[in-house]
Amino acid sequence: MIHFVGAGPGAPDLITVRGQKFLEEADVIIYAGSLVNPELLQAAGEGCRIYNSAYMTLEEVLRVMENSEKEGLTTVRLHTGDPSIYGAVREQMEELEKRNIAYDVTPGVSSFCGAAAALGMEYTLPGISQSVILTRMEGRTKVPEKESIESFAAHQATMVLFLSSSMIGELAEKLVEGGYAPQTPAAIVYKATWPEEKAFICTIDTLEKTAADNGIDRTALIIVGEAVRYNGAQPTAESGDGRSPQSRVMRSCLYDADFETGYRSAKSKE
């Protein structure tokens, strides 16, 4: 049996209870060494064979899985964040299906959730944005043309960009070309939930400078959209409070005293 497990965004105690148990019981662990926190491997039992997939090809990973299966061993394939997001998991699953090797998937906390936590923000604010676009700049992996940054920018929804911090100047240009105002609030979160986590609030037109000034070109997420304005980051001397009385959030219907739900009748009716 192969268990695909989401390792979470970095902090070792952000793996799920189920994921942790699979790690403890594994005979073989193949972990994505470029981003998975190696501290998680301390959960492995004595004699567990550990492989770092950063040094392996897909075929090499599959060979380890196949051999492990032949010996009747249990394998954990440990992916960063949640395996479903840029995890290159489907190609592994397909090969396992061909070989009749059973697998299951344990979700993880994606880094985009870790980034919201670092910023003290809510991506889906009433009256601001009710959608989150998770996307990336094109790199060696092509992005379908119909999913261009410009086309998504036209919605001015909350957008979270993975795998794009080395192309941040070009990204900012595309965001503005697509429809966001250059002054739209933006944030860069580096290594969310790791001890070295850093979060910066800026605007689209200062994204490139903010990244350059702070030496950030990898392991970061870029978040853009009006929702970023409502963050819990400590105000700095330069930014001031940044939150005028008009920029307090609109409250949700869900907890409004006059709103009825299956759990609660409207207070005014009582």
The binding site for ligand SAH (CB under 6 A) comprises 9-10, 35, 80-82, 85-87, 110-111, 114-115, 162-163, 189, 191-194, 219-221
Q: Is residue 205 within 8 Å of 182, Cβ to Cβ? A: yes
- State in angstroms the smallest separation of the CB of 133 from ligand SAH: 14
Beta strands in 151-204 (DSSP E): 158-162, 185-190, 198-203
SS3 content of the chain, % helix, strand, coil (to 5): 35, 20, 45
Q: How many Å apart are CA 185 and CA 208, to the nearest integer?
A: 13
> Shortest Cβ contact with ligand SAH: which residue?
81
Q: How many Å apart are CA 245 and CA 242, to the nearest integer?
A: 10
**Comparison of 103 and 259: residue with beta carbon closer to ligand SAH:** 103
**Comparison of 35 and 105: residue with beta carbon closer to ligand SAH:** 35
**Comparison of 37 and 156: residue with beta carbon closer to ligand SAH:** 37
**For residue 55, what is the DSSP state?**
G
Residue type, 204: I
- State in angstroms the smallest separation of the CB of 54 from ligand SAH: 12
- State in angstroms the smallest separation of the CB of 264 from ligand SAH: 34
Q: How many Å apart are CA 21 and CA 5, to the nearest integer?
A: 10
**Comparison of 32 and 62: residue with beta carbon closer to ligand SAH:** 32
**Comparison of 66 and 208: residue with beta carbon closer to ligand SAH:** 208
- State in angstroms the smallest separation of the CB of 35 from ligand SAH: 5
Of residues 3, 170, 8, the one with CA closest to residue 77: 3
- State in angstroms the smallest separation of the CB of 204 from ligand SAH: 17
- State in angstroms the smallest separation of the CB of 60 from ligand SAH: 20
Q: How many Å apart are CA 188 and CA 112, to the nearest integer?
A: 11
**Comparison of 134 and 176: residue with beta carbon closer to ligand SAH:** 134
3-state secondary structure 183-238: CCEEEEEECCCCCCCEEEEEEHHHHHHHHHHCCCCCCEEEEECHHHHCCCCCCCCC
